[in-house]
Structure 1
Amino acid sequence: MAQTHSNAPAAIDPADLTVQLIRCPSVTPEEGGALVLLQSLLESAGFTCTRVDRGAVSNLFARWGAKGHPHTFGFNGHTDVVPLGDEASWTVPPFGGVIKDGQIWGRGATDMKSGVAAFAAAAIDFVRQTPPDGAVILTITGDEEGDAVDGTTALLDWMRDTGEAMSVCLVGEPTCPERMGEMIKIGRRGSLTAFFTVTGVQGHSAYPHRAKNPLPAMARLMDRLSSHELDKGNDHFDPSTLAVVTIDTGNPATNVIPAQCRASVNIRFNDIHSGASLTDWLRAEADKVAAEFDVQVAMTVKISGESFLTPPGDLSDMVSAAVQAETNIVPVLSTSGGTSDARFVKDHCPVVEFGLVGRTMHQVDERVEIAHIHQLKAIYSRILHSYFR
């Protein structure tokens, strides 16, 4: 590795960059100026940047170093944010990037403009001060909080088509439940939502024998699904879970048996299952209830992501060592929580996730500890030095 240059530019302040990014109103799918800001900053540091926009979504690809280098470290993150909720409930301007009480306040402060600021600052300072024999890639999307159809997937599709590749990747999502440094994600559960429509025959509630009531059938189906133990978990995953999230009839009358009832369930599943195997099970249960009650049961399924695991090894060891060095905490390797764009990156290269404490993400008065942002940049810097050592 080359020696540090004495005339290197001043280090990038990740907290200041976080403030600038928060002030970009980038509610999905609005770009809001966040990617424009990052592209300008990265290009000034020698990164080759390409906007990979698809549909209504804006994405940014940035690379320092040679294309196709066998040692290419990647960061992934997003600058889009969820809606504000009740803006009147905020005690600060949601896009103000207000600094108070040692924290930066605003939508996206935790999830995840601070994470993007930390890895962008770490990457820029690293290549300026100690240019590596290798390449550093940043993939930043504007569609993580939305349908995620034209975000990281668009970047990965473009990379495949143009011969760009990451050897390993770190996603900067908030991963720590309460304390900085306590958790690294080495996988994620899959997510599947199933939508059911039970159709019977409408009739008068005083003459139920002349109708086919879809409600008892739906109640039976939801009970069968929710009371079933999917699995007991395994070494790396908690047990899979199924939650009934809606049951709707839209029937305002008390003397009418409705013709239809709708319901949906969400399953968060580990690697004992796949989206296909769970779909088959759901269909079989629906068919049993349809036959038992002599009704029709239609089902559609949306699989938001399959479960995946990056087995503990060199990548997680390297990240763990950097976290421990900066926080004096040995992080837990976890697969808990919801989905993230790591579910797409895992098909491209080995991937883990590490980021800030996520207590206030998606909340009113979202905020982040300034000290944690600097700590995160230091962790990412250590990781880069370790990878290219």
Structure 2
Amino acid sequence: MVPTQPTYRFDPTALTGPVDAQAKQAFAERMKALRQSEASAGSGGTMSRVLGGVIFTIMGSIFAIVGITMIGVGMASGGLFPSMTIAFIPILFAFVGIVFASVGILILVRGESTTGYRLDAFARANGMHYHPGRRAPNLPGMIFHIGSSRASRHLVYGDQPRFVEFGNYQYTTGSGKNRTTHTWGYIAVKLDTPLPHIVLDAESNNGLFRSSLPIGFRKDQRLDLEGDFNTHFSLYCPGGYETDALYLFTPDVMQRFLDSAAQLDVEIVDDWLFFYSRRNLVTLDADQWAWTFSVVGAMLDKLAQWGRWRDERLRAAGVPAGAGGPTPVSPDHVEHSAIQSPEALRPPHGVAHEGRRLQRTRFSWSIGIGIAAIIVYQVIRNIL
């Protein structure tokens, strides 16, 4: 069941409250200055809405031009049409075209600024910050290194009690007629120390023959955990790190994931924890925000124990203390100070090379099944 209340501060008033015209204008000027001062994806971040506005405007313009042209031709020929019904057609074309074009222009001019204004006010009301978006965000998660035209948009982030960023994300694959835009929502949580690369593939959002993840991982890296966790998630960890995964995913931690994040794919990579959704997570829907806040809130008090994990392989390899410390938050994100171990005899922060990244599959079973289905279809068609 999706929680309807978050576990910490949450004020959704700004998402649906009245819009102050002067405050909105001031916000628009701030965003304009921000886009001019940095290489942000502020304009690219509005991709879907801008595309919708452009489509409406183009369709409206075409309809209007056709309608007006038909009226002009009719007037040039004496203004006579065979019937009143036919005479009404060009007028209808022109009217529909003007309406469509007006809606498109309205979307382009007003829609996104209102969304950004509300999200900015919502972020400030909850002790956080808003950013319109960034091109090619510098994050290590799997979705951030695929395709082209990579851009995050509508970022809501804060650094208390630890850095957390909520965002929407898009990238494109293919070209021409095969060009596809992929939409994701994500939650990025900064951890206290780098951890082994671990992926939880949620079964609830998978297709019949394929995972919802954008890349595949070798099946021999899958680790079975106790209870009914395996029926909800497929957990992948690097070979040799099974004991470490069990240390991180204790029964109470697994229960938190089952109760709060069973609809999301999860990735632990370097010193980041990511939650992924195949739909936007940053919206003006107060109930969805209550749920996403609850996802993070359910995990916050469990992440401190993850910060105590150390990779014994580094001590065996003679890596000096501090050599594998947490990666700093990039300039795109709020600065975060990682907790350092006071115990000099413990291994340093970091992960040995073999645990830093999972090994990917070289063959996609979903593509293979699709190819097999086409071959079978062609064989049956030729026989019949």
Between Structure 1 and Structure 2, which shows a larger proportion of strand residues? Answer: 1
Same fold (TM over 0.5): no
Larger Rg computed on CA atoms: 2
* TM-score band, normalised by shorter chain: under 0.3
Tell which has more relative contact order, 1 or 2 (C-alpha 8 A, sep 6+): 1
Q: How high is the TM-score relative to the length of structure 1?
A: 0.24
